[in-house]
């Protein structure tokens, strides 16, 4: 039994600077004639670097912000640190943390998997740890937990502003923080004390009334909302929850809802400060933060009569459990209709695996409710029919559920408890129950994202999302058609057995256990040690020191070849795949070998196959891109809607830039990816008339008119020459602000930072 109770933490670097924030806010309020503000506006505007000089207009003004904190996960931290090294800074300007969670492969269970992952990734972990020591960054070792859970337990604070190099950073909105997923280059801005730019988001207000039914959980609210808003519905918006229903939600439940706001493309999601947040802060050793938040309670709620850009009302008592998927998180089906949904589509009824946990749903409450279901089944002598895997979100959760018995319940039911890490959620799953590429099989997870092939690399795995208690119940049934609210299983005597609604405390009655302290950093903000050497071997296949990109030559682009016209969904997983490629996150040249391998070519309807115009042969996309690069032929991508949706993965921008792509034109971009492209000096354009996408094909040659005099809001023309010599022009737009245009001109945002630091 673990005995290491969580004690009060040093909160000095965790508590937001409320005095400064409220002073900034009062300046902005005066400028805005004391118009009532949403909570999102209050927190964002209070972090303005230059409050006196800004008149924020939602959806229009570019804001310069000063974040309070940065968090990075091990896969994206590599590139963030490699870029930070180029900046010439001696220490990070704001408290920052690195979390080793993505590189741990789920295979044989927690302890063995952590040991083998450390051995397999030693070079990377050593690089991250020594960088952390050198620059004064908190380093959370492999096994400590998943970035967002660790942040919620340790760093999130009401009214703060955090950037995280992971798209589910908004998880911290469950503690009233504006937490935004960004690429490493944005993190470098914050760490280098450069104002971080964001277009003032619009705000969707989600009014919650009523109370959840015992079978439903906050996950079901966001699963339902994802269906309503779709994967693009939140783009350019912060989702702000309000209404009396908020008080009925646990802090970690709110975090789940904020976490999955990423699935509708929202900039972030946010809850007002509640007594449930206060209790959570107290239980996780941050009473001082709670006291400071109490003293600033007015700041931490929306002003009365504030106006949202859109309001959605949800009566929590009418929400039913939902199951979303397969392959997209917005395909939302109420549990009561899921059986017919499966039948109508002719899908197999068998459930091959149920997976619970991850950063989205591994709170004490989630684990307790899932364990209460597993306990009921065990008591009735019902055994689990599918593979059942449990991923605790942190060492604190693992140690606490070990002490309180939930882990034993899972293990007794036959569950495999995995490491406190991302594992199957990010494709780090050495699945042994099925052959590689096995035919159609279904898995149900309590994760947040379900793009095709994401979990086990098998495009035939139908991946559905649900709350952990629903996943658990269905793992005991082994059937997708089973409705745990109404259907019966057979108990050990062959009699019908019905589940009763799950139960679970949101906070452990005996307090949290911290678990193994060896995983944790020695201090929330360690002192930087400039003498530490960060070794990157030139022979390494996993780490490569970056070279700065060339600045733009000030001229129009000419003879840019369309490498591929992408059709349909093209997420950052399609542009820069994860799974086995995660090991090359710190080596741009090697990871570029996966560029666009998931993209569907509109011209030949093939994935990762494109005609090389110089040879007329069809080849994989990265091969053709590399060949064009070798021949000094600039190339571009023509993309469909919401190009780059999904994660904050900046490799999706870095790789195309590295391989010689100066511009991309799409029907629309996902926000984070569009910014990442800008940061790396790639010009992201959108069709002024979306139908023009039809007119362009792979192999066409593009020339620009208007890039030479590029200015905010100024359109750009593309002169398209088809391979048969036909020529026509189409109109395009860009969203670059004055500052972003400087990034483009210098070749990348980092080039600009470097210039500023050295001048």
Phi-psi domain of 437 (left: phi exceeds 0; alpha: psi -120 through 50; beta: other): left
The enclosing H or E element of 733 equals strand 727-733
| From 68, 74, 101, 186, active-site residue | 101
| Interactions with ligand F3S, residue window 653-692 (CB under 6 A) | none
Residue closer to ligand F3S by CB (options 144, 358) is: 358
Q: Which is nearer to ligand F3S, 359 or 682 (CB)?
A: 359
Cβ 260 to ligand F3S, closest distance in Å? 9
Query: Which has the closest alpha carbon to 68: 21, 134, 132?
Result: 21
Q: Give the HSE-up count for residue 283: Cα atoms under 13 Å, Cβ half-sphere.
A: 25
The size of the interface with ligand F3S (CB under 6 A), counted in residues, is 15
Structure-token pair, residue 21: 């924030």
For residue 520, the 8-state DSSP code is: S
Centre a 10 Å sphere on the Cβ of residue 236 and count the other Cβ atoms it contains: 17
449, 611, 651, 671: the active-site residue: 449
> In the annotation, is 294 catalytic?
no
d(C-alpha 211, C-alpha 546), whole Å: 52
Residue 148 or 403 having the CB closest to ligand F3S: 148
Q: What is the DSSP string of 219-258?
A: HHHHHHHHHHHTTTTTBTEEEEEESGGGGGS-HHHHHHHH
Of the two residues 142 and 747, which places its CB atom closer to ligand F3S in the complex?
142
Q: By CB under 6 A, tell whether 462 contacts ligand F3S.
A: no
Whether 350 is catalytic: no
From 647, 657, 700, 748, active-site residue:
647
Query: Coil, helix or strand for 688?
Result: coil
Rank residues 86 and 401 by Cβ distance to ligand F3S and give the closer one.
401
Site string for ligand F3S, 333-362 (x = CB under 6 A): -------------------------xx---
- Establish whether 101 is a catalytic residue: yes
**Residue 576 binds ligand F3S (CB under 6 A):** no
One DSSP character per residue, 121-167 reads THHHHHHHHHHHHHHT-EEE-TTSB-HHHHHHHHT--TT-EEEESST
Residue 168 or 322 having the CB closest to ligand F3S: 168
Nearer to ligand F3S, 148 or 202 (CB): 148
Closest approach of ligand F3S to the CB of residue 429, in Å: 11
Which helix or strand (DSSP H or E) is residue 564 part of?
strand 560-565
- Cβ pair 286, 396 in contact under 8 A: no
Alpha helices, DSSP H, located in 380-467: 395-404, 406-412
Contact present, 592 and 586 (Cβ < 8 Å): no
Select from 20, 19, 63 the least CA-distant residue to 41: 63
Point out which span in 128-136, 145-153, 375-383, 681-689 binds ligand F3S (CB under 6 A): 145-153
Spatial separation of the C-alpha atoms in residues 193 and 95, rounded to whole Å: 11
**Annotation says 611 is catalytic:** no
Q: Pairing mode, if any, of strands 178-181 and 161-164?
A: parallel
**Least distance (Å) from ligand F3S to the CB of residue 425?**
3
Query: How far is residue 359's CA from residue 421's CA, in Å, rounded to a whole number?
Result: 8
Q: Contacting ligand F3S (CB under 6 A), which of 48, 147, 190, 639?
A: 147
User: One of 649, 651, 657, 671 is an active-site residue; which one?
Assistant: 649
366 a catalytic residue: no
Residue 673 designated active-site? no
Residue 166 binding ligand F3S, by CB under 6 A? yes
Catalytic entry in 47, 69, 99, 102: 102
Q: What is the DSSP letter of 699?
A: T
In 724-734, which positions are buried (b, 16+ CB within 10 angstroms) versus exposed (e)? eeeeeebebeb
Residues 6+ apart with CB under 8 A from 404: 368, 508, 510
- 422 is an interface residue for ligand F3S by CB under 6 A: yes
Stretch that binds ligand F3S, among 418-426, 459-467, 484-492, 596-604 (CB under 6 A): 418-426
Nearest CA among 54, 732, 420 for reference residue 44: 54
Least CB distance to ligand F3S at residue 458 (A): 17
Q: Nearest approach, Cβ of 120 to ligand F3S (angstroms)?
A: 18
Considering only the stretches 14-22, 122-130, 445-453, 722-730, report the one whose residues sit in contact with ligand F3S under the rule CB under 6 A: 445-453
Give the nearest distance from C-beta 413 to ligand F3S in angstroms: 22
User: Is 448 among the residues that bind ligand F3S (CB under 6 A)?
Assistant: yes
Q: Provide, rounded to whole angstroms, the least separation between the CB of residue 222 and ligand F3S.
A: 13
CB 145 to ligand F3S: min, Å:
10
Q: How far apart are CA 359 and CA 446, in angstroms?
A: 9
**Is residue 146 involved in binding ligand F3S (CB under 6 A)?**
yes
Q: How many residues appear in the chain?
A: 759
Nearer to ligand F3S, 103 or 599 (CB): 103
Among 9, 58, 69, 168, which residue sits at the site for ligand F3S (rule: CB under 6 A)? 168
Q: Which positions are catalytic?
A: 101-102, 166, 449, 647, 649
- The contact set with ligand F3S (CB under 6 A) reads 101-102, 146-148, 166, 168, 358-359, 422, 425-426, 447-449
């Amino acid at each position: 039994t673990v005995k290491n109770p969580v004690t009060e933490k040093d909160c000095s670097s965790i508590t937001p600077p409320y005095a400064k924030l409220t002073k900034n806010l009062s300046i902005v309020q005066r400028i805005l004639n004391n118009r009532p503000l949403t909570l999102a506006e209050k927190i964002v505007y209070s972090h303005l670097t230059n409050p006196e000089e800004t008149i924020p207009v939602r959806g229009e003004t570019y804001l310069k912000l000063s974040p309070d904190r940065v968090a990075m996960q091990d896969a994206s931290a590599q590139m963030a640190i490699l870029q930070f090294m180029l900046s010439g800074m001696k220490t990070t300007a704001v408290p920052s943390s690195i979390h080793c969670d993505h590189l741990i492969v789920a295979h044989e269970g927690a302890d063995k998997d952590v040991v083998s992952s450390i051995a397999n990734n030693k070079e990377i972990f050593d690089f991250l740890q020594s960088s952390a020591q050198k620059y004064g960054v908190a380093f959370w070792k492999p096994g400590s937990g998943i970035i967002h859970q660790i942040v919620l337990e340790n760093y999130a604070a009401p009214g703060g502003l955090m950037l995280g190099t992971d798209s589910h950073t908004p998880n911290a909105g469950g503690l009233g923080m504006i937490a935004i997923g960004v690429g490493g280059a944005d993190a470098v801005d914050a760490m280098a004390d450069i104002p971080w730019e964001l277009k003032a988001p619009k705000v969707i207000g989600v009014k919650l009334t009523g109370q959840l039914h015992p079978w439903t959980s906050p996950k079901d609210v966001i699963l339902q909302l994802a269906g309503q808003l779709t994967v693009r519905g939140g783009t350019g918006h912060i989702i702000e929850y309000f209404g009396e229903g908020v008080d009925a939600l646990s802090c970690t439940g709110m975090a789940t809802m904020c976490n999955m706001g990423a699935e509708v493309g929202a900039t972030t999601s946010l809850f007002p400060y509640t007594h449930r947040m206060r209790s959570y802060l107290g239980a996780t050793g941050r009473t001082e933060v709670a006291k400071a938040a109490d003293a600033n309670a007015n700041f931490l709620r929306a002003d009365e009569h504030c106006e949202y850009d859109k309001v959605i009302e949800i009566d929590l008592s009418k929400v039913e459990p939902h199951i979303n998927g397969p392959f997209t998180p917005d395909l939302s089906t109420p549990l009561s209709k899921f059986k017919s949904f499966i039948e109508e589509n002719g899908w197999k009824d068998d459930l091959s695996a149920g997976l619970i946990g991850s950063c989205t749903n591994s709170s004490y409450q989630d684990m307790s409710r899932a364990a209460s279901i597993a306990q009921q089944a065990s008591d009735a002598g019902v055994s689990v029919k599918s593979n059942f895997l449990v991923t605790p979100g942190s060492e604190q959760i693992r140690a606490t559920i070990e002490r309180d018995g939930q882990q034993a319940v899972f293990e007794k039911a036959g569950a495999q408890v995995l490491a406190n890490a991302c594992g199957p959620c990010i494709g780090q799953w050495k699945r042994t129950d099925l052959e590689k590429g096995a035919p159609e099989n279904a898995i149900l997870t309590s994760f947040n994202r379900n793009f095709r092939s994401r979990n086990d690399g098998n495009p035939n795995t139908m991946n559905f999302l649900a709350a952990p208690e629903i996943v658990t119940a269905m793992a005991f049934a082994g059937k997708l058609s089973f409705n745990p609210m109404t259907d019966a299983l057979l108990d050990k005597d062959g009699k019908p057995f019905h589940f009763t609604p799950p139960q679970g405390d949101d906070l452990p009655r005996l307090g949290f256990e911290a678990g193994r302290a060896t995983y944790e950093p020695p201090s929330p903000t360690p002192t930087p040690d400039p003498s530490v050497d960060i070794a990157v071997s030139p022979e390494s296949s996993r780490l490569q020191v970056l070279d700065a990109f060339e600045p733009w030559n000030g001229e129009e682009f000419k003879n840019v070849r369309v490498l591929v016209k992408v059709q349909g969904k093209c997420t950052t997983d399609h542009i820069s795949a994860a799974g086995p490629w995660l090991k090359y996150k710190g080596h741009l040249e090697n990871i570029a070998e996966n560029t666009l391998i998931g993209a569907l070519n509109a011209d030949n309807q093939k994935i990762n196959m494109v005609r090389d115009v110089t040879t007329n042969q069809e080849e994989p996309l990265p091969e053709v891109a590399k060949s064009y690069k070798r021949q000094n032929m600039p190339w571009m991508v023509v993309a469909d809607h919401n190009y780059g949706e999904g994660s904050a993965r900046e490799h999706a921008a870095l790789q195309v830039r590295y391989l010689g792509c100066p511009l991309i034109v799409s029907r629309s971009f996902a926000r984070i990816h569009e910014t990442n492209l800008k940061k790396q000096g790639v010009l992201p354009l959108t069709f002024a008339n979306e139908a023009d996408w039809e007119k362009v094909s792979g192999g066409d040659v593009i020339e620009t008119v208007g890039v030479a005099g590029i200015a905010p809001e100024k359109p750009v023309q593309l002169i398209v020459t088809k391979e048969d010599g036909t020529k026509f022009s189409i109109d395009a737009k860009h969203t670059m602000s004055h500052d972003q245009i400087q990034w483009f001109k210098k070749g990348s945002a980092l080039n600009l930072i470097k210039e500023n630091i050295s001048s």
